[in-house]
A and B are shown apart, each in its own frame.
Chain A
Amino acid sequence: MTNYLIELDNISKTFGRRLIFKNISSKFNSPDIIGVAGKNGAGKSTFVKILANLISPTKGKIKHFINNKLIEPEKVYNYTGFVAPYLVLYDEFTALENLFYCCKIRGINYEIEYAKELLKNVNLFERRNDYVKTYSSGMKQRLKYAFALIHNPNLIILDEPTSNLDNAGKDLVYNFISSLGKEKLIVLASNEQTELKYCSKIIEPEKYKE
């Protein structure tokens, strides 16, 4: 099994004068499910974006390792799957086209059978050739799971994973979390206790202000 490790070394983040958190140090090792909790505006999304190397910390260092080999920060995206309500897929493309470009721009092979299987798993197979702009918000959220898993990432970051989903969709996500959490590193940002119960460790960014 592939070992994935994230090392946080005293990371801090400020936006202008506003301190979001400071001096967070920790290690997350796969397989595991790590929770990021806190009320709205506590810095959960900022924290997970830093983990995904989408934004830089103001201070401190963050390192990703795969099988004890350091991953260059520029390449972290290749090992990361990301789902969030603020993630927007291309409306003018179909679900399959979105997955096709996602693979091709990453520089990996596009396996249409795998893409179809993922769409079946998220109950979007029947709508695979429809433009994303015709999807409901819940369907778009489910498509994001296919988008996050198409390149078989080792790190899966889920920010408010059940947002916009109905009960069936939520069950789907909980099944994903419990099955993928056995082999991959999952970071789950949420303020729902039903979701955080899957986590072995919980980080609360707002407690790191001193």
Chain B
Amino acid sequence: MIKSFYLFKKDWQSELRTRYAINALVMFILVTISVILFSVGQEKMSEYLTGGLLWVVIFFSAMSGLSRVFVSEEERGTILTLQLIASSDTIFTGKMLFNLVLVFLMNTVITLLYSILFNSFVINNVWLFVIAFIIGNIGIAVSSTVIAAIIAKANTKGTLYPVLSFPILLPLILVLLQLTKFAIDGKTIAESYAELIVLVCYDVIMITASYLLFEFINKD
């Protein structure tokens, strides 16, 4: 775990110097939210619609920045260096940590901006939303990391990432939409238990499958 932490630290320091992902993410978030604001205009949006659009913004922002963890290594040719100093598990854990931090930062900013800019986005059960948000972000970070590792070796990285991510992230996004609706309705955590368990199962399955697959992706 310490090795993965240093890999995360290396990536973070590198990100602060190169701004490979952060700039793209910030711009994407600003542009997407602005486009929604302009297109809605003076219209009153329903609470459910704003809840749904929040996850649309999060999904597409994830598509624009989270693939960078592997794509930047592949494009700069440093992936071989990484393979020479770390095992597959260390690489995956380090990259996943980086994406986790990025996803939490990105989604917290999006949600805060969203709450400020859209009056109809009112969460009645904040704790349910926070729990769904945390478990959901873990799922997004893990899935995006393993998909990034797969597409990094392809020629059409930009196109392939959203295409490959959509079927993998769809079950997660659907459950998150449902939980956001419950949080808006003010349902209790006990009433949303089944959906929360589905989210946890998704995370466990994705983490397990990613660790099993990553060695093959990394080596060949």
Contacts and interface: CB of A to CB of B under 8 A. Distances in A.
Given A92-B18, A107-B3, A54 B86 contact: no
A77 B78 contact: no
A86 B17 contact: no
Interface stretch (A4-12, A19-27, A97-105, A162-170): A97-105
Nearest to A89: B81
Contacts of B87: 74-75, 77
B15 to A, nearest CB: 9
Nearest to A84: B80
A88 B78 contact: yes
B6 A88 contact: no
Given A88-B80, A89-B78, A90-B81, A74 B88 contact: yes
Given A74-B88, A92-B17, A54 B2 contact: no
Which of B3, B6, B82 has the largest count of A CB atoms less than 10 A from its CB? Answer: B6
A106 B18 contact: no
A192 B17 CA distance: 39
Contacts of B94: 105
Interface bracket on B: 20 to 34
B81 A88 contact: yes
Interface residues of A, number: 26
User: Would you call the interface of chain B mostly helix, strand, loop, or mixed?
Assistant: helix
A56 B88 CA distance: 14
B219 A55 contact: yes
Contact of A107 (B2, B10, B84): B2
B77 A88 contact: yes
Contacts of A52: 84
Contacts of B77: 86, 88
Nearest to A81: B84
A92 to B, nearest CB: 4
**Pairs A-B, 4 closest by C-beta atoms:** A104-B6, A88-B77, A92-B17, A101-B10
